[in-house]
Amino acid sequence: MIEIRDLVSSDLPALLDLCTRALPLDTFSLPLLRARVLDEPEHQPHLQLAAWDKGQLVGVMLAGVRGGADETSAAIRLFAVEPAARRQGVATRLLRELERILQRDGHRRLTVAQQAPVYFWPGVDVRYTPAICFLEANGYERSAEAINMEVDLARRDWDTTEAEARLSTQGYEIRRLRDTDRESFGAWMCEAWNPTWVYEALESLKNDPVTTWVALRDGAYRAFASYDCTAFPGGFGPTGTDPSLRGQGIGTVLFHRCMQDMRALGYAKCEVCWTGPVAFYAKAADAWISRVFWSMQKDLV
């Protein structure tokens, strides 16, 4: 007899067990699950559905809502069923219940994954093929694709001495972001980049050392690159160079500074998350496409 109720803090160890068994392509931990699920800024307890069978957590469907007063978007952030309990309708029951709640709350569309800045994946990793089949069987259609790229950190030394000397003759200062930059950097980020990137880059100030590198000229920020923000540990991004200054190697220098750091922190590889310019990373780091995600969507009518 399956019972569905809201996930609570004391369920986190059971959630960790379930995710570890059901999602073998990813690495989970209690702090990560707490940060992404219960402590995420827009946490909605009634959208965190957990299915229990005789005291065992057999499935979860964890969703969220983003956006302001005018437009909101609802998305499933993570769903999984215990391998031994599959093909018995557990996920179907969780999905029906979630869709019912969201319809009642006035949502007209449900997306699977995405939900930056605090998110698990930019879509369903296509290698979780049963998940794709399950969603298609329930009327969901592919709406977007995203990729991650992987970098072998041992492959290069990521030395930037020469490039930084060249940029310095052009008036650029390359340095790690500092806590005292918070206000001015935050203001530049808000003006120049999207709200998701602002949130992610500012989160990097919580890390020690701070995990953002910046390029300045005439005292103004011109480019930034962050890692270990809100994606999985070892994740690179976001990054951006002022559009008028692209093509001068600034982005590459900042990216290589991050690679130096990650290597020093003991990471063997870096995952460039939700990658935009594939060729940039292929050239700057011999990175290769390592994960492909499909975002899926359905109208709730």
Residue 295 CB, shortest distance to ligand COA, in Å, is 11
The one-character DSSP state at 83 is: G
Question: What is the Cα–Cα distance from 60 to 81, expressed in whole angstroms?
Answer: 7
Return the amino acid letter for 198.
V
Interior/surface letters 27-52, b for 16+ CB within 10 angstroms, e for the rest: ebeeebbeebbbebeeeeeebbbbbb
Give CA–CA dist 244/233, Å, rounded: 31
Binding site for ligand COA (CB under 6 A): 22-23, 78-81, 86-92, 113, 124, 128, 130-131, 133-134, 137
User: Nearest approach, Cβ of 137 to ligand COA (angstroms)?
Assistant: 3
Q: Kind and range of the H or E element at 207?
A: none
Encoding tokens for residue 197? 């990137």
In the numeric block, which tokens belong to residue 119?
A: 């998110």
Cβ nearer to ligand COA, comparing 90 with 250: 90
Tell the smallest beta-carbon distance from residue 131 to ligand COA (Å): 3
* Closest CB 242 distance from ligand COA, rounded Å: 35
44 or 88, CB closer to ligand COA? 88
- Residue with smaller CB distance to ligand COA, 112 or 253: 112
Q: Which residue number, 83 or 171, has a Cβ lying nearer to ligand COA? A: 83
Residue 79 or 185: the one with the smaller Cβ distance to ligand COA is 79
Distance of closest approach, residue 227 Cβ to ligand COA, in angstroms = 23
Give the type of residue at 178. R
Within 10 Å of residue 178's Cβ, how many Cβ atoms?
12
